[in-house]
Every structure is written in structure tokens, then in C-alpha cells.
Amino acid sequence: MDSMKLSGLEITFWTCICAVAYNYVGYPLVLFALSVLSQAKSDFHFLLRRAGRRQSRPPEYVPRVAVLISVYNEEPVILAKVKNTLELDYPEAQFEVFVGLDAPTDSTAEILSRLRCGPLRVVHFPERQGKLKVLSSLAEQTQAEILVLTDANTTLERNCIRNLVRHFANPLVGAVSGEETRIPAPGTDPAAESLYWKYESALKFLENRLNCTLGGNGSVLAVRRELFRPKKQSIIEDFQIPLEIRLKGYRVVYDPEAIAIEEIAPTTHAQSARRVRIAAGDYQTLFANLGCLDPRKGLLAFCFFSHKVLRWITPWLLLTGFACSALMMQQRGFAILFAAQSAFYLSAYLGYRRKKQGKPASVLSAPLYFCMMNAALLLGFFRYLNGHQKLTWNPTLRGAQPDTTLHSMLRKPAMSSRVSPNHSFGSTVAQDSNLHPSSPENLRAL
């Protein structure tokens, strides 16, 4: 009997490994099972009572919408962003765009000063505020019912706004998150990151079915203006804002048809810096919202713990499991497990070396991405503890041709009534020798 007892090290090891496995494999399976049961319940309810099904689609809901964009040193992408926003398919009388200049030090402000366009409002902030403060200030300057928050380096599909706002016809909906599609920058090896984002999108889809969507996508997030009252200054505002709205009793919806396109950071260094900054925000969010783990909150607490908390503590679980297996190497089984873990981490290192040499990581990209993501969480934790993470940051440097790289991915690149087909975007640009609207070359450049 004594031989069947597990030691403290063995219990710790298997707890760590099972927690990681549950987070990445078990939780999605549980979500899928719950969504199937939820659908079955809805079907039986309909069959027995002939109620609960979707009613016929109501008349199109077209509230007034304000697109809010916080900008700092976005010179390479700002023109393409404004052009893309003005070309979105939404009634001009119900549409306005606010760009908040967060004290940029490049020529972003100069570029925007040349634009003359009815729906566009540019607001200057002489000192750095941080993204959330800028967005809050912009929200105070509009009477629009719905605010759409989006990033400067993001391209929205033409029907994105319509797909977002249709959900607000339901007064119980407080926020709607779109789908973020990531495309590779030239010369990058995007396989692992693309796979990971598809995996995350699948989780959001299942969580949305169960009405337990937690956060949103910073690339495109719509909220009711009266609910946009951020209580906490957060680095990860795209998670904090929907969570606060959810805690007020409103629904947060995920719509995979409201698509935003963003280019993956072009270098390993840029990707790592971005992940560490986001990781610091993850821990900030965790410790600011520990009350969400209260079991009385039901599915919200379950999803917050299973999806977010376990993901954020995964590096600690991996390190603890690795150390435990190293201490038990005298047992053949744990020696094999230690060797397997070592081989996995070695493959990640070899993938890193290949990328440093400018070569694709190929089959090594998956372990490399997994290890880099968890290394960023470790570094982000210490940055959070040290208080080194500010609410302001520099944008990730990307290519300077977003108009050709991103807009080519759009499904329906049609022209909006806000932009004259004859003058393209030049009709909003002041008469400048370098940006003359009658020049076809300059129009294509814009």
C-alpha cells in the first residue's frame, strides 16, 4: 500500500502538468461540451414551448457611432488608417471619427493637420496621457450612442461597424468585440502565432455561446457610451473595459464577422517587447479583479480562472514541474519526463537560433512561440512587481506600407460616400506641393 502513495514532489509535479494540460486542452473541451448542452436545452425548450428561438430580424439598427483612435508616433500608418476609417460602410450622418494625438514626437500631427474632412475631429494632447485616458477624453466630446475603439495600425473590413452595432439593438448588450485577424509582416514566420490566434478565437466563440465572454480585442471594440466609465487605469484596456461592463450586468458579445486586420510585429525583439508589456498588464488585470474568482459569479468565475488565470500562471507551473522532475530523476519514469521537457525547451532554443540567423523556425516555431509567450509572462510579472510598466508606450515598429499590405486583405474594398471617387482621399488634403490631390501617383500613395 505504501508503494502506491505519491510523494509531495510527485503530487506537485502532476498538479502542475495537469493544470497546464487542462488550460490548453481540457478547458476547450469543457467549453464545447457546455455549449452543446446549452444548445440542446434551447432546442428542447423550443420543441416543448415553441419559444426561445430567434425572432425575425428587426429593422436595421443604425445608432450614431463615434470611432475613437488614440495615436502616438504613428507616422507610417496614420493616413492609411484615416482613409480606411472614412471608407467604412456606415451612414455619414450617423458617423464621426475622433483621433486623439497623445503628444507625438514624429510627424503624425503634421500629417493630420493637412486633412479636411467632415466626420474627422483631431484632438491634441500636449502631454502624454496613455491610451485609456485619451480614449476617455475623446468619449466626453461626442454624443454618439456607440463608441468604437480601434488602433492606428489596424485595418477594419468595410462592414465592420455595421456588424458590431447590430448587437446593440438588444438593450442588454453593453459591449461587442470583433475578430482580430493577424497577417505576417514581410520576412516573418507567422505559422505558430496564426495558429494560436485561431485557437483563441475558437475559445471566444464558445465562451460567447455561453454568455461568458470576458474581454475584447483592442483592434476593434464597441461599447455603449453611457457604460464607458473606466474605473481603473489599465494597460490592457481591451480586457478591463468589457470586464467592467460585464460586472455591471450587461452582456459582452464576440462577433467573428466584425473583422479587424493587424500586421504581426516584424522582428522577434519587437514581438517580445510587446508580449512583455501585455504580460505586465495581464498581472495588473489579475490583481485588480480578484473578486471575479468568487464562485458565486458562476460561469464568469469559471471562465476567468480556466482561461485567464491559469494561462497567466503557466510559466510558474512549467518551472515547478520541471524542477520537480529534475529532483526525481532517480526514478526512470521521471527521468524520461525530464528528458522530454528538456528536449522541448531545447527545440525552442534551436528555433530561436534559426530566427536570429534570419531563417524560418519551421517545425520549431510551435515550441518557440510557446516558450517565448511564457518567458514574456515571467518578465511581465517582475515588471509589474517593480512598477516599471507605464500606461504609455511606444508603438511597435512595422512596415511603412500598411495601405498595400493590409488593405489587400479586405474582402470588399469598396468606396464610401464620404470619399469622392473622383478625388479619392485627396479631397481632404490641403493643397501642398508634395501632396497634390490631382496627382494619380500621390492618390495611390495616400
Task: Give the model's pLDDT for residue 34.
Answer: 94
Rounded distance between C-alpha atoms, residue 220 and residue 97, angstroms: 14
| Residue at 136: amino acid letter | S
Q: What are phi and psi of 129, to 5 degrees?
A: -110, -30
Rounded distance between C-alpha atoms, residue 262 and residue 375, angstroms: 23
| Chain centroid offset of residue 2 CA | 50
Give me the chain's average pLDDT, please.
83
Cell of 419: 470619399
| In a shared domain, residues 306 and 383 | yes
- Does residue 183 form part of some domain? yes
pTM of the predicted structure, to 2 decimals:
0.83
| Residue at 391: amino acid letter | L
- Does residue 45 form part of some domain? no
pLDDT in tens, 180-213: 988 876 555 667 778 888 899 999 999 999 999 9
Task: Give the model's pLDDT for residue 360.
Answer: 79
396, 418, 436 - which closes a domain: 396
Question: What range defines the domain where residue 312 resides?
Answer: 267-396
| In a shared domain, residues 229 and 203 | yes
- Does residue 3 form part of some domain? no
Rounded distance between C-alpha atoms, residue 377 and residue 388, angstroms: 15
Task: Give the model's pLDDT for residue 397.
Answer: 57
Rounded distance between C-alpha atoms, residue 363 and residue 100, angstroms: 42
- Does residue 5 form part of some domain? no
How many domains, the chain?
2
The CATH code of the domain that includes 122 is 3.90.550.10
In order along the chain (446 residues), what is the average pLDDT of each group of 10 residues? 72 97 98 91 76 59 95 92 94 95 92 85 91 92 96 94 95 95 68 84 94 89 94 77 93 96 74 86 90 93 96 97 96 96 96 85 88 94 81 57 38 40 33 30 35
| In a shared domain, residues 286 and 248 | no
